[in-house]
Amino acid sequence: MRRALPALVLLTSACTVTGTAVPVGGNLALVDAHRTGAALDAVKTAAEAVFSYDSANPAAFDQAVAANVTGAAKTQLTALFEPIRKSTRPVRLVTRVRQAAALEFTGDRLRDLAVLQQDSGTSKGLAAVAFTAVREGGRWRLSDIVVNPAQPPPAPQPDDGSAGGVRDSALAGARAAAGALFTTDSGDPEGSYARAEAVAAGPLLADYRAKKASYVEAIRASGTKVALGPAPMAGAVALTGGRAIVLFFTTLQVTDATGKLTSRPFTTELDVVREGAGWKVTAVRPVTAT
């Protein structure tokens, strides 16, 4: 990814907050697929409108905020865009939602994890954002915006074969598998590889086994320890029987040989499949700017 200009507002923010879970049984994300999809589409439209900006027409931004934002999100957007609006240089940002997954959906409230791509004409950048939106007067409006989020998952439904139970089981399995896949220690490359291999299945497992020597050497040569950040986030993009596509975000904690710690936002899609009582990963697709 090319280095973003200061105008790429999403890449200059690193706010995190704690989300509020809905009661067990109240989360209809993907359970009511039609209404979940309609709500995600509405939030996508709102997010693209309020995260796009043209300094030649600032009134359009104000109108977009008035139409699509309510509550705390107004203050959050003001803080995000204040440096841009004060810039003496021309700014034109175009923002698109690359991917989104519903975390919670209750009919009139949606919380989702989205990957936004901003393009200033000379630079592109990605950011993971957690949106909360509420339906007011038949219109969805953004009520909370968190860049690089670290939030606990909703209270899980029992894994009893219901759609909500399978969804939450898949998400818990994806978070656990991601911990094994993306946590490495150059001081224990064989153990790091073994943990990853244990949660892989299908094409991913075949790839790991075919390239074991190179994977182990790459971990050893990195000279780092990598751990998941607190409260990694996962949302189901699709769920069909014992398979799911999961959007996963965390801020990786990378410690180098000198002990210096660096945080690196990391977003990927995971294909997971149920095996027995657990879930394994069959494919990993990191989300990068296009």
pLDDT in tens, 47-100: 999 999 999 999 999 999 999 999 999 999 999 999 999 999 999 999 999 999
Same fold, 9-147 and 163-286: yes
pLDDT band at 26 (very low <50, low <70, confident <90, very high): confident
- In the structure, what pLDDT confidence band is assigned to residue 44 with cuts at 50, 70 and 90? very high
13: pLDDT strictly greater than 60 = no
Percent of the chain with pLDDT over 90: 88
In the CATH scheme, what is the code of domain 9-147?
A: 3.10.450.540
The closest of 218, 179, 216, 174 to 194, measured between CA atoms, is 216
As a CATH number, domain 163-286 is: 3.10.450.50
Extents of the domains making up the chain: 9-147, 163-286
Per the rule left: phi > 0, alpha: psi between -120 and 50, beta: everything else, 95 is beta
Lowest-confidence range among 19-23, 54-58, 72-76, 140-144? 19-23
Q: What is the pLDDT of residue 10?
A: 60
Q: Are 243 and 229 within 8 A, CB to CB? A: no
Average predicted confidence (pLDDT) for the chain: 92
Q: What band does 21 get if pLDDT is binned at 50, 70 and 90?
A: very low
Selected residue with higher pLDDT from 218 and 12: 218
Indicate whether this model's pTM tops 0.75.
Answer: yes
pLDDT value of residue 9: 61
Q: Which amino acid is at 223?
A: G
Predicted confidence at residue 290, as pLDDT, reads 83
pLDDT value at residue 73: 97
Q: Which long-range contacts (C-beta less than 8 Å, at least 24 apart) are formed by 213-219?
A: 216/189, 216/190, 216/192, 217/189, 219/184, 219/185, 219/186, 219/189, 219/192, 219/193
**CB-based contact 116:238 (threshold 8 Å):** no
pLDDT for 8 equals 59
Mean pLDDT, to the nearest integer, of 106-134? 96
145-190 pLDDT per residue, tens? 999 999 999 999 999 999 999 999 999 999 999 999 999 999 999 9
